[in-house]
Amino acid sequence: MRRAARRDRAARQTLRRGRGPPGRTAIRIPLDEMTETPTKDQLRRILTTHKRFACVGLSANPIRPSYYVARYLKLKGFDVTAVNPAIAGTELFGRPVAESLSAIEHDIDVVDIFRRSEAVPGIVDEALERFPNLKVVWMQIGVSHAAAAAKAEARGVEVIQNRCPKIEYQKLTGELGMAGFDTGIISSKL
């Protein structure tokens, strides 16, 4: 029992120091690379008025976060288009998977990025070029890029970084309230 307790304590200390478990690296995003934190009103407005999402880096694997986030959005009435060159031509959520943002033939309101931060500038450039009426660039949890965000914002596009639309939607609609999230109340009841 003591050995397990020491191992758990050591693991918690390692994570606090910014290192992940063996073989993985922890995600650490400097605050100076983040744009201002979006307000609940801003998130509510985005998620109620912009319904056409292009999910860049969407996986066909149902246990990957990109898949279940996109599936959730589709179930909630969003129009989701997958963008992934590895599975282009197949179908996900009732639409063919696009090879790139340039291959999408219809307008998109939100480009949701499920790729590493290093890939963000190219994705943002392609999105701004392909969709002149793009409203939002959304970068998933752990994804941010200050220069790309500034470029999009300079073109009048809103930028959300290090957030998940599924989680934000659930917070705003009260779906996470049953589990005690975002309620301001700490309780062991379900």
- Residue 3 in any domain: the answer is no
Count how many domains the chain has: 1
DSSP secondary structure code for residue 96 in this structure? E
Residue 30 lies in a domain: no
Whether residue 25 is contained in a domain is answered as no
Q: What is the pLDDT of residues 38-64, one digit of tens each?
A: 999 999 999 999 999 999 999 999 999
Task: Name residue 80's beta-bridge partners.
Answer: 53
Q: Are 80 and 73 in contact (CB under 8 A)?
A: yes
- Here the CATH number for the domain that contains residue 174 is 3.40.50.720
Instruction: Let me know the angle formed at the C-alpha of 146 by 59 and 65, rounded to the nearest 5 degrees.
Output: 20
The rounded distance, in Å, linking the Cα atoms of 120 and 116 is 7
- Global model pTM greater than 0.95: no
Answer whether 44's CB lies under 8 Å from 102's CB: no
| Secondary structure (3-state) at 110 | strand
The answer as to whether 110 is a domain residue is yes
DSSP at 2: H
Report yes or no on 103 lying in a domain: yes
Task: Tell me the average confidence (pLDDT) per consecutive run of 10 residues in the chain, 190 residues long.
Answer: 52 45 47 64 96 97 94 96 96 95 97 97 98 97 96 97 94 75 49
Residue 58, exposed/middle/buried by CB under 10 A (0-12, 13-18, 19+)? buried
Residue 71 domain boundaries? 38-179
DSSP annotation of 36 = P
- State the virtual CA torsion across 150, 156, 161, 163 in degrees, nearest 10: 180
| Amino acid 176: pLDDT | 75
d(CA 19, CA 164): 23
Share of the chain above pLDDT 70, in %: 74
Structural domain includes residue 10: no
Whether 145 maps to a domain, the answer reads yes
Residue 4 inside a domain? The answer is: no
